[in-house]
């Protein structure tokens, strides 16, 4: 068990470093170019007011606050969920499907570890990798706020990143559940990307309707639980945006482990 854990950590550590540096640099760059005078911000707000409702739904209501938090919502947080979703696809698809596709799964399964435990360990490595990337971005953002003298509510921003983290785990659980039914790695990547983009577009469409749909319709997409805009405006988070993704993730991982344990693998 420890051998598999160490092997997976060694396999992913370089990509984690790259993603962490890129995301931290992205956060720094967005704060660096913040138009911190009123005339520039007025021009930005005027431009946003003529954009289609779908764009405003994607960017979020916090953009109209004229603060650095609003600027971050417009240029960073609005895209953070989608960016991390692509990292999730690239990582989770390698948990078992790539080894099945390349016919190297036999060596992994020959080790003294159950299939269910293998799924759990590898998903744990993915979760820890995601946590490292998110924490690096958070620290970079915090340090940049301090350096440029901007006020930052640590609790609000911590909850914001926690919300992105657990929702990304939910997406990972969904992709994992799809992956245990597949044997072709490239096809799984395409399906994973299609599913994520479809859910993202669905979320934007629902928000752009300015209606109050049924809860099932509203929260059918994992992206609906990412509430960075309302959190930045109100300073509060609806707790179901934290616990529902956690429960959904746990259910998907448990189901994936159960399916993979009974899966017939032809080498």
What pLDDT digit, counting tens, does each position of 107-162 carry? Answer: 777 778 888 999 999 999 999 999 999 999 999 999 999 999 998 999 999 999 99
Residues 70 and 59: beta-carbon distance below 8 Å = no
88 CB-near residues (< 8 Å, 6+ apart): 126, 130, 168, 171, 172, 175
CA distance to 15, 16, 72, per residue, from 90 (Å)? 10, 12, 26
pLDDT at site 178? 95
Do the beta carbons of residue 88 and residue 167 sit within 8 Å? no
pLDDT of residue 267: 60
Q: Judge whether 125 and 88 are in contact, CB under 8 Å.
A: no
Helices (H), 60-184: 68-72, 78-92, 97-101, 105-109, 115-148, 154-179
CA dihedral 3, 9, 11, 14 (to 10 degrees): -150
Distance CA 126, CA 94 (A): 10
What is the rounded (10 degree) CA torsion for 221, 227, 230, 232?
A: -160
Classify 36 as helix, strand or coil.
coil
pLDDT at 73: 86
Q: How many CB atoms lie within 10 A of CB 132?
A: 16
The pLDDT value recorded for residue 215 is 58
The residue ranges of the chain whose pLDDT is under 50 are none
- Provide the whole-model pTM: 0.88
């Amino acid at each position: 068990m420890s051998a598999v854990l160490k092997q997976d950590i060694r396999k992913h550590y370089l990509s984690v470093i790259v993603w962490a540096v890129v995301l931290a640099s992205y956060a720094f760059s967005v704060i660096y170019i913040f138009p911190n005078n009123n005339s520039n911000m007025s021009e930005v707000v005027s431009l946003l007011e003529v954009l289609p409702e779908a764009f405003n739904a994607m960017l979020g209501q916090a953009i109209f606050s004229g603060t650095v938090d609003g600027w971050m919502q417009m240029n960073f947080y609005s895209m953070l969920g989608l960016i991390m979703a692509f990292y999730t696809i690239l990582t989770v698809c390698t948990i078992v499907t790539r080894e099945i596709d390349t016919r190297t799964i036999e060596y992994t399964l020959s080790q003294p570890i159950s299939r269910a435990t293998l799924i759990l360990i590898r998903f744990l490595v993915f979760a820890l990798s995601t946590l490292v990337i998110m924490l690096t971005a958070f620290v970079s953002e915090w340090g940049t706020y301090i350096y440029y003298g901007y006020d930052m509510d640590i609790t609000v921003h911590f909850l914001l990143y926690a919300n992105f983290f657990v929702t990304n785990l939910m997406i990972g659980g969904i992709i994992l559940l799809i992956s245990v039914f597949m044997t072709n790695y490239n096809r799984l990547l395409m399906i994973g990307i299609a599913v994520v983009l479809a859910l993202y577009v669905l979320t934007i469409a629902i928000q752009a309707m300015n209606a109050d749909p049924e809860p099932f319709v509203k929260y059918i997409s994992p992206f609906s639980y990412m509430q960075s805009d309302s959190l930045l405006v109100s300073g509060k988070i609806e707790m179901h945006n934290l616990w529902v993704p956690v429960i959904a993730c746990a259910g998907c991982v448990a189901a994936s482990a159960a399916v993979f344990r009974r899966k017939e693998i032809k080498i």
